[in-house]
């Protein structure tokens, strides 16, 4: 999934306290290159933190110790990695990271991809896509990259046509907007909402349908492969989530070991059995070919 934009400011203090209590060395800084220190990783609760803990539970990390810090409140996990407060994060896909690096002059790297959270189109008012009313209002993610992904999903659903292609390797997803719509036969309008709040718009009388990221759908009790009217395609999907770190840690044996563990067939089997289509292993899907050797996401 990549990240929530300024949600729930009341949680900021909680998040700050959590970071200050991490028990990190060097006055709150991460362990950096110390090969014997735990690797600190910030992750979304579902499915990211669950998968890290499952890899640890199954003994796939060997003697590598990890300290998982779940993301909450108004924090930027990429900024915390860049500043050295944590060693790595696991919450985002490559288009999101690419856009973040461009906006922040960053050089964070995607080490490996792990899973895909299918983006879905949901409704409690419309029973099928073909019953979408004329003039329907659809809630979509407010951030640029996921907004583009939502528009591609709506094109896949047959509700509109775009003048760009999702599988274009040179496409800047952050630049894809409503201006790229070349056909909108139902005169659909859009409400842009922070991703953590999209599931709540299903009960908004002014919204007919909502595009919700997989992790937030799970948190809202939705079952994507059952409840979604449409799910984005998995094959060659560029939105696979993966482990991200600083360039100087990309080849750190601990980082490589965690990346290998998350890509282990045992974790792929756990994803398949535990999430039943709500989360999919990236390697099994053929969405992105990658290895634990770092790939620049800049």
Same domain, 23 and 95: yes
| pLDDT of the residue at 284 | 53
Residue 100 has pLDDT above 50, yes or no: yes
Residue 270's CATH number: 3.40.190.10
| pLDDT of the residue at 170 | 86
Domain-embedded: residue 3: no
Domain-embedded: residue 34: yes
Same domain, 126 and 225: yes
Please report, for the chain, how many H helices and E strands are present, in that order: 11, 14
Domain-embedded: residue 196: yes
Same domain, 113 and 124: no
Domain-embedded: residue 1: no
Same domain, 54 and 105: yes
Q: In whole numbers, what is the pLDDT of the chain averaged over residues?
A: 84
Residue 30 has pLDDT above 80, yes or no: no
Q: Of 231, 257, 277, which residue sits at a domain end?
A: 231
Spatial distance between the Cα atoms of 189 and 289, rounded to a whole number of angstroms: 36
Maximum Cα–Cα distance for the chain, whole Å? 61
75 and 19 in contact (C-beta within 8 Å)?
A: yes
For residue 226, what are the domain limits?
120-231
Task: Tell me which of 17-31, 134-148, 172-186, 246-260 is least confident.
Answer: 17-31
Token match 């907004």: residue?
A: 147
Task: Tell me which of 1-5, 121-125, 143-147, 174-178 is least confident.
Answer: 1-5
Spatial distance between the Cα atoms of 21 and 23, rounded to a whole number of angstroms: 5
| pLDDT of the residue at 1 | 54
| pLDDT of the residue at 31 | 56
Same domain, 187 and 267: no
pTM of the model: 0.70
Q: pLDDT (tens digit, 9 = 90+) per residue, 71-80?
A: 988 899 999 9
Q: pLDDT (tens digit, 9 = 90+) per residue, 220-249?
A: 889 888 899 999 877 778 889 999 999 999
Higher-confidence position of 292 and 102: 102
Residue 252 has pLDDT above 80, yes or no: yes
What is the side-by-side order of every strand in the sheet holding 230-231? Answer: 189-193, 137-141, 209-212, 120-122, 230-231
Two tokens, residue 83: 């500043």
DSSP code, position 231: E
Total domains, the chain: 2
Same domain, 142 and 281: no
Same domain, 79 and 173: no
Spatial distance between the Cα atoms of 109 and 98, rounded to a whole number of angstroms: 9
Confidence of residue 160 (pLDDT cuts 50, 70, 90): very high
Residue 116 has pLDDT above 50, yes or no: yes
For residue 111, count CB atoms less than 10 angstroms from its CB and return exposed for 0-12, middle for 13-18, buried for 19 or more.
Answer: buried
Q: Of 231, 263, 280, which residue sits at a domain end?
A: 231
Same domain, 186 and 224: yes
């Amino acid at each position: 999934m990549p990240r929530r934009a300024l949600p729930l400011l009341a949680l900021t203090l909680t998040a700050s306290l959590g970071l200050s209590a991490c028990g990190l060395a060097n006055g709150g800084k991460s362990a950096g290159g110390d090969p014997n220190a735990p690797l600190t990783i910030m992750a979304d609760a579902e499915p990211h933190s669950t998968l890290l803990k499952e890899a640890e539970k199954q003994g796939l990390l060997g003697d590598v110790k990890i300290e998982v810090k779940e993301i909450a409140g108004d924090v930027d996990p990429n900024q915390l990695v860049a500043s050295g407060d944590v060693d790595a994060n696991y919450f985002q896909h490559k288009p999101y990271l690419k856009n973040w690096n461009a906006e922040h002059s960053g050089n964070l790297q995607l080490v490996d991809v792990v899973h895909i959270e299918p983006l879905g189109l949901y409704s409690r008012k419309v029973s099928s896509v073909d019953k979408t009313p004329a003039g329907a209002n659809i809630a979509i993610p407010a951030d640029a990259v996921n907004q583009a992904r939502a528009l591609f999903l709506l094109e896949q659903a047959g509700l509109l046509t775009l003048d760009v292609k999702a599988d274009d390797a040179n496409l800047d997803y952050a630049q894809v907007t409503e201006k790229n719509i070349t056909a909108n036969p139902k005169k659909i309008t859009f409400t842009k909402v922070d991703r953590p709040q999209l599931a709540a718009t299903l009960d908004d009388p002014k919204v007919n349908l909502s595009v919700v990221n997989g992790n937030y759908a799970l948190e809202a009790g939705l079952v994507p492969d059952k409840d979604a009217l449409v799910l984005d395609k998995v094959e060659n999907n560029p939105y696979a989530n993966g482990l991200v770190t600083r360039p100087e840690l990309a080849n750190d044996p601990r980082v490589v070991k965690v990346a290998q563990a998350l890509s282990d067939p045992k974790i792929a089997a756990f994803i398949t059995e535990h999430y039943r289509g709500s989360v999919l292993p990236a390697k099994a899907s053929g969405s992105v070919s990658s290895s634990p050797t770092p790939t620049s996401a800049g």
